[in-house]
């Protein structure tokens, strides 16, 4: 079968989908189109190794030779400008037109912009691309002052890396605590205390009222009247999706994202979407928007399975991770669980937080305890109910509790 498959977006989801097509037997043409000139690379290291150890950082997903061996055509440094879903074609910025039988949009998302901060010039940054990381690293010199706006995952990873590089770091966020949207209270408090012990200063429940550049210094006035000065500023306040391509193809979009079903099919036959640009609606009508490394991989795999008329993999418990201040923190399941209990003591070695709703385990966080994540996910998947005394006791292995449930 000589089905022509075009993938727009040469990031993690797009590159992995291209390779999966070959692994799973697709013999027809595969074309991977990406706006960046680089070979497809992973983004999680941009806030960590790309800043701390840029010479040793391993970012590339695959080599040029691997793409060639798999007969995957790369068109990098090119932007797709329009999709004609009736004709089955994609227009590129260089005037080229690509014909497709099946199309995957893995276009990702872009940082939400703050024009008042962008106006400060080259000392202001967002972090999404390799070039962004390189520009931040070039200015991140020991003794300088870094201002970070946003205390989510990216903000805290940057705080960790920049403080390790010897910078004084201030973090500003209108939320009442760190990682409010995607971590439970005990974990947010632990991470905040850990950063503060390294000298990071947090300014919560306040935003930026005014920003100006005076010579080489950035001056921020916060809503609560606090005055901050810095040498560089990085902000991360969420992402937005450019739906121009989706609109040109007549795809259904909701809340600024492309709507797909559980098989990552869009509203147009033969067109799929995966990754950060997607809101997924399952067979029960439940909507989910997950911006994570794992979700990009899972959605790419689902799209490939449907393209090749193969069965979907069994759904898994949502999972993501962050590395901060020497801690590997992994999250699974529902971070909004109403009740959390701890196995172990924060700050005194590895520990686990388990989230419960009406006695059922629905979420888990491991801190330097990655071996406990698999059994924790099993407990969540089974909606296990376990005596709280056993859950709190680190002497009782989670894998044993998973076997018992």
- pLDDT values of the chain reduced to their tens digit, one per residue, 405 residues: 589 999 999 999 999 999 999 999 999 999 999 999 999 999 999 999 999 999 988 899 999 999 999 999 999 999 999 999 999 999 999 999 999 999 999 999 999 999 999 999 999 999 999 999 999 999 999 999 999 999 999 999 999 999 999 999 999 999 999 999 999 999 999 999 999 999 999 999 999 999 999 999 999 999 999 999 999 999 999 999 999 999 999 999 998 999 999 999 999 999 999 999 999 998 888 888 889 999 999 999 999 999 999 998 888 899 999 999 999 999 999 999 999 999 999 999 999 999 999 999 999 999 999 999 999 999 999 999 999 999 999 999 999 998 887
Domain covering 326-404 assigned CATH 3.30.390.30 in the classification: yes
Q: 243, 258 in Cβ contact below 8 A?
A: yes
**C-alpha to C-alpha distance for 361 and 363, rounded to whole angstroms:** 6
Beta-carbon contacts of residue 297 (< 8 Å; ≥ 6 apart): 12, 13, 16
CA distances from 39 to 64, 65, 108, 331 (A): 7, 11, 16, 29
- Out of 3.20.20.100, 1.20.1250.20, 3.30.70.100, 3.50.50.60, the CATH code matching 112-235 is 3.50.50.60
**pLDDT for res 313:** 84
Same fold, 5-109+241-307 and 326-404: no
Within 10 angstroms of residue 361's Cβ, the number of other Cβ atoms is 27
Strands 227-230, 232-235: pairing kind: unpaired
Query: Judging by beta carbons within 10 Å of its beta carbon (0-12, 13-18, 19+), is residue 68 exposed, middle or buried?
Result: exposed
pTM of the model: 0.94
What's domain 5-109+241-307's architecture? 3-Layer(bba) Sandwich (3.50)
**pLDDT for res 1:** 58
How do the domains of the chain map onto residue ranges?
5-109+241-307, 112-235, 326-404
């Amino acid at each position: 079968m000589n089905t022509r498959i075009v993938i727009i977006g040469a990031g993690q989801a797009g590159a992995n989908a291209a390779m999966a097509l070959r692994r799973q037997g697709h013999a027809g043409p595969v074309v991977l189109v990406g706006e960046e000139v680089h070979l497809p690379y992973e983004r999680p290291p941009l806030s960590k190794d790309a800043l701390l150890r840029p010479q040793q950082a391993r970012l590339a997903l695959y080599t040029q030779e691997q793409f060639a061996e798999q007969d995957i055509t790369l068109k990098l440094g090119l932007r797709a400008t329009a999709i004609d879903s009736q004709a089955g074609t994609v227009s590129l910025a260089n005037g080229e037109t690509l014909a497709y039988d099946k199309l995957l949009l893995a276009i990702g998302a872009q940082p939400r912009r703050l024009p008042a901060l962008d106006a400060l010039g080259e000392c202001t940054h967002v972090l999404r691309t390799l070039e962004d990381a390189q520009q931040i690293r070039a200015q991140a010199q020991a003794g300088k002052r870094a201002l970070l706006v946003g205390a989510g995952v990216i903000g805290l990873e940057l705080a960790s890396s920049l403080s390790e590089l010897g910078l004084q770091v201030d973090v500003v966020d209108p939320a009442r605590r760190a990682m409010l949207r995607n971590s439970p209270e005990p974990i947010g408090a632990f991470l905040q205390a850990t950063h503060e012990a390294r000298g990071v200063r947090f300014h919560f429940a306040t935003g930026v009222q005014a920003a100006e550049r005076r010579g080489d210094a950035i001056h921020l006035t916060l809503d609560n009247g606090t005055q901050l000065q810095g040498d560089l500023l990085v902000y991360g306040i969420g992402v937005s999706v450019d739906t121009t391509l989706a609109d040109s193809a007549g795809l259904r979009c909701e809340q600024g994202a492309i709507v797909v079903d559980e098989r990552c099919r869009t509203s147009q036959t033969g067109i799929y979407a995966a990754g950060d640009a997607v809101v997924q609606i399952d067979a029960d009508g439940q909507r989910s928007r997950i911006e994570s490394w794992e979700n990009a991989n899972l959605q790419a795999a689902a799209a490939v399975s449907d393209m090749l008329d193969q069965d979907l993999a069994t759904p898994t418990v949502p999972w993501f991770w962050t590395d901060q201040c020497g801690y590997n923190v992994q999250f699974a399941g529902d971070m909004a669980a109403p009740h959390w209990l701890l196995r172990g003591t924060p700050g005194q070695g590895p520990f686990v937080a388990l989230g419960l709703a009406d006695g059922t385990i629905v979420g888990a966080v491991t801190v330097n305890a990655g071996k406990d994540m698999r059994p924790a996910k099993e407990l969540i998947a089974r909606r296990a109910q376990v005596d709280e005394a056993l859950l709190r006791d680190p002497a009782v292995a989670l894998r044993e509790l998973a076997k018992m449930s």
